[in-house]
Amino acid sequence: MEADRSDGFHIYENGGATAAFAFYTIAALYKLGRLKDGDRILFPMLESYKSGGFDGRGPNGRTYDWQKWDGTPRGYGGLLTDGFMALAAAVERPTAHYAQDKNPGER
């Protein structure tokens, strides 16, 4: 470990990547009518859910619920159930279609 701990960035809650609470960002983008931006987050996540990209252990013994941005697993808990909350953003998506068609001032 570096004396200034600069090598700790991207690990766990210090800038790591997780699906936990992504729902709020995706849902907000959809509510703002930013369908493409929300889709750029949601659709790759759906593929990761399908392939098991958020659960299990990697070769380093760490779990995939938290990852470095290069995909290296850095979790320890195994499976964060709040990571699956992002699936609920798919329900928000039809609202986004409506929001894009409407004048935001009319909502």
Residue 42 has pLDDT above 90, yes or no: yes
Which token pair is 46? 């759906």
Residue pair 19/86 in contact by the 8 Å Cβ criterion = yes
Question: Average pLDDT of the chain?
Answer: 81
Question: pLDDT of 61-104, one tens digit each?
Answer: 998 888 888 888 988 877 778 888 889 998 888 654 555 555 45
Within 13 Å, how many C-alpha atoms sit on residue 87's CB side?
10
Cα–Cα distance for residue pair 82/21, rounded to 1 Å: 7
Mean pLDDT of 18-28: 90
Q: Report the residue count for the chain.
A: 107
Q: Is 3 exposed, middle or buried (0-12, 13-18, 19+ CB in 10 A)?
A: exposed
Tell me the percentage of the chain whose pLDDT exceeds 70: 76
Cα–Cα distance for residue pair 81/2, rounded to 1 Å: 33
